[in-house]
Amino acid sequence: MRDAGNVKTVLIDIDDTLLDFSESSKDAIRFAVEKTGFDLPPDIHPVFWKINSVLWEKVERGEIDKYGLYRIRWKTIFHAIGRDDLDGAVFEEAFYNRLSETAYPVRGAKEILAYLASKYALYTASNANHNRQRERLAKAGLDGFFTDFFVSSSLGANKPTAEFFDRCFERMEPRPLPEETVLIGDSISADISGGNAYGLFTVWYNHNRKPDPTDPALIPCVKVDSLEEIRAIL
């Protein structure tokens, strides 16, 4: 395990790291079903999760943008379950609006943010809409711990690109070195690959119990299964 060294700054992901995306998406699906009246199978969430993950990986690779994802997400899901008769755009609107309002904190999120903010300059590092992420953090009572909020829609670049991190570092005052900066997140493809490539100390929050990556470029400096474990590292 690589040592965290002389840490001055911490970047932390939002969805599925601080806010529980699984619970939020289940809530949003229930709401959209009630709103649209669409008859969906009760086990729709695993299908959503699989397809949504694939589409976000395409966003991270630059193959589509977020708006392209929103245009095809539910159309793709409905096709996968044999329901091409349903209007994906109508369902997406109801789903996305509800999703943007939900804020279920991950267990231990407030406690670990308080701990980190007492020791380091703390920033978000998120691929999403800036205003909506700020609103969701505020709703969850997690917004008061951050020095600034770095979100792709306002930075004009997505994780894992170097441009995303360039723009984060440009706004940090005083500006740390990459080797003095920690990135905490749940996504191997966005957080760990991007952070490793930029020379950050990467902490993989593997609460979904995903298999360890084998590609050296994707192996985190540290893996944790709970946010509480971060205290022993930083």
Per-residue b or e along 113-132, where b marks 16 or more CB atoms closer than 10 Å to that residue's CB? bebbeeebbbbbbbbbbbeb
Cis geometry, peptide bond prior to residue 216 (ω within 30 degrees of 0): no
List 3, 13, 143, 212, catalytic entry: 13
CA pair distance 205, 224, nearest whole angstrom: 5
Whether 84 is a known active-site residue: answer no
List the structure tokens of 143. 């917004």
Tell me how far CA of residue 188 lies from CA of 83, 134, 155, in angstroms. Answer: 32, 23, 21
List the structure tokens of 101. 């309002």
**In sequence order, what E strands does the chain have?**
9-12, 121-126, 148-151, 181-185, 201-205, 222-224
- Report the candidate in 102, 124, 104, 103 with the shortest Cα–Cα distance to residue 113: 124
Tell me how far CA of residue 93 lies from CA of 15, 48, 169, 175, 214, in angstroms. Answer: 19, 15, 34, 39, 38
Active centre residues (catalytic): 13
